[in-house]
Amino acid sequence: MALREVGSKDKNLINKLAPHPLQTWEWGEFRKEWGNEVTRLGSFNKNKLENVFTIVSSPLPKSYFKIATLIKCENPSKNELNDLVAEAKKRNFILIKIEPWEPIEKISKSDSIARFKNAGAIPGKTLFTPTTFWLDITPSEDKILASFHKKTRYNIRLAQKKGVKIIEDNSDTAFERYLTLTRETVKRQGFYAHTERYHRLMWKHLHTNMVSAKKKPIARLLTAVYQKQIITTWILFQWKDFLYYPYGASTQEYKNVMANNLMLWEAIRLGKKEKLKTFDLWGREPGKGFTDFKQGYNPKVVEFLGTWDLVTSPLYWPWRVVDSARWLYLRGKSRFISPNF
């Protein structure tokens, strides 16, 4: 049966089917308030909703054409891909950028690639890294700790000895500190990050609104306190039996107390307390400092199918040329002008 649009009356079922936080009802509502158009398409079998694709789209400047993304979704079937093409043309999407969430070890990579190509998809510029780290947090704490690199264990003990305390603190004060530290981190490292408004809206929909509705929030804030100051903040996502580490920020002032090492260890302990099974460390780029940091915890490298642009308009190639030029400009600009938060 063809895909058809689903709405708020199905939001509980949408969340039941959502494999990842970025496919949840709350994430879609956040992106709508941020300014995107959100389309939720359900795949039905004998009138039973079996899969949902949450598509986020943005208009091209001075145009009614749009760029759409379908991120961390279930791997679409042949019929679903064909239906997505039809929906894209109907909605003036010139492409849908698709990044399935399942590791390739759980799907047939060759069959999936052939299916995407047959539907008119080509490899595209990535939004999320094609590999990440997953950490199995089901063994005992002692066994997990023993698996870490010795330098990582040393840094965890050092932070404890220095008196660093890791506290879950979802208060307004702690969140404002998170924003301050994110601003400091962006300025120090010179990378392009989501804006302050983006983070505020994300927290509103994935934490505050859910708590007000007496639901378990997706987003939680972990803080590292040293000498009565919050020196590191991490936002964690919790969904199904996974814990995720999407956002983090810290001050440079107390980097020698190794708060981040203790933070990750306490995040693992939090995940175990919640009876979760896997900690997704949210990205892996060989040669980068954050990748080296994560490797110290002995995680498993997980590979995904990658990024596929489902091309649905002849405007795709002109857009791709312009988009490539835009990224070249931004990378060059960042060498001379610090990105804003």
- Rounded to whole angstroms, how far apart are CA atoms 319 and 124? 12
Name the pLDDT band for 287 (thresholds 50, 70, 90): confident
Residues 176 and 199 in one domain: yes
Dihedral sign, Cα of residue 92, residue 18, residue 103, residue 216: positive
Domain count, the chain: 2
Name the pLDDT band for 62 (thresholds 50, 70, 90): confident
Does residue 256 lie within any of the structural domains? yes
Residues 274 and 141 in one domain: yes
Mean predicted confidence (pLDDT) in 248-261:
95
Does residue 119 lie within any of the structural domains? yes
pTM: predicted TM-score of the whole model, two decimal places: 0.94
pLDDT for residue 181 is more than 70: yes
Residues 281 and 147 in one domain: yes
Residues 251 and 319 in one domain: no
pLDDT for residue 220 is more than 90: yes
Dihedral sign, Cα of residue 321, residue 192, residue 208, residue 168: positive
Domain membership of residue 18 as a residue range: 4-128+305-334
Residues 137 and 285 in one domain: yes
Angle between helices 25-34 and 196-203 (to 10 degrees): 150
- Rounded to whole angstroms, how far apart are CA atoms 145 and 125? 37
Residues 217 and 320 in one domain: no
Residues 245 and 324 in one domain: no
State the pLDDT at residue 338. 64
- Rounded to whole angstroms, how far apart are CA atoms 314 and 214? 47
Name the pLDDT band for 72 (thresholds 50, 70, 90): very high
Do β-strands 308-311 and 4-5 pair in parallel, antiparallel, or remain unpaired? unpaired
State the pLDDT at residue 333. 67
For the sheet with 242-250, list strands across it.
165-168, 219-226, 229-239, 242-250, 278-280, 131-136, 300-303
pLDDT for residue 12 is more than 70: yes
Calculate the average pLDDT of the chain.
94
The string of pLDDT tens digits covering residues 149-174 is: 999 999 999 999 999 999 999 999 99
Residues 164 and 96 in one domain: no
Q: Radius of gyration over alpha carbons of the chain, in Å?
A: 21
Does residue 341 lie within any of the structural domains? no
Does residue 339 lie within any of the structural domains? no
* Inter-CA distances, 291 with 82, 97, 131, 146, Å: 37, 25, 11, 20
CATH code, domain with 136: 3.40.630.30
Does residue 320 lie within any of the structural domains? yes
Say which residue, 190 or 223, is predicted with more confidence. Answer: 223
The string of pLDDT tens digits covering residues 87-144 is: 999 999 999 999 999 999 999 999 999 999 999 999 999 999 999 999 999 999 999 9
Say which residue, 286 or 116, is predicted with more confidence. Answer: 116
Q: How many helices (H) and strands (E) does the chain have?
A: 12, 14
Residues 255 and 204 in one domain: yes
Does residue 340 lie within any of the structural domains? no
Name the pLDDT band for 191 (thresholds 50, 70, 90): low
State the pLDDT at residue 226. 98
pLDDT for residue 329 is more than 80: no
Does residue 201 lie within any of the structural domains? yes
State the pLDDT at residue 327. 72
State the pLDDT at residue 328. 81
Residues with Cβ < 8 Å from 225, sequence gap 6 or more? Answer: 164, 165, 166, 167, 231
Name the pLDDT band for 334 (thresholds 50, 70, 90): low
* Inter-CA distances, 42 with 47, 72, 81, 92, 155, Å: 10, 15, 13, 19, 47
Q: What angle do CA 141, 265, 16 make, to 5 degrees?
A: 85
Residues 243 and 263 in one domain: yes
Residues 151 and 170 in one domain: yes
- Rounded to whole angstroms, how far apart are CA atoms 213 and 26? 12
Residues 162 and 146 in one domain: yes
What burial class does residue 319 get, using C-beta atoms within 10 Å of its C-beta: 0-12 exposed, 13-18 middle, 19+ buried?
middle
- Rounded to whole angstroms, how far apart are CA atoms 273 and 131? 27
For the sheet with 308-311, list strands across it.
4-5, 37-45, 48-59, 66-73, 93-100, 308-311, 121-123
Mean predicted confidence (pLDDT) in 53-63:
94
Q: What angle do CA 335, 339, 341 make, to 5 degrees?
A: 165
Does residue 52 lie within any of the structural domains? yes
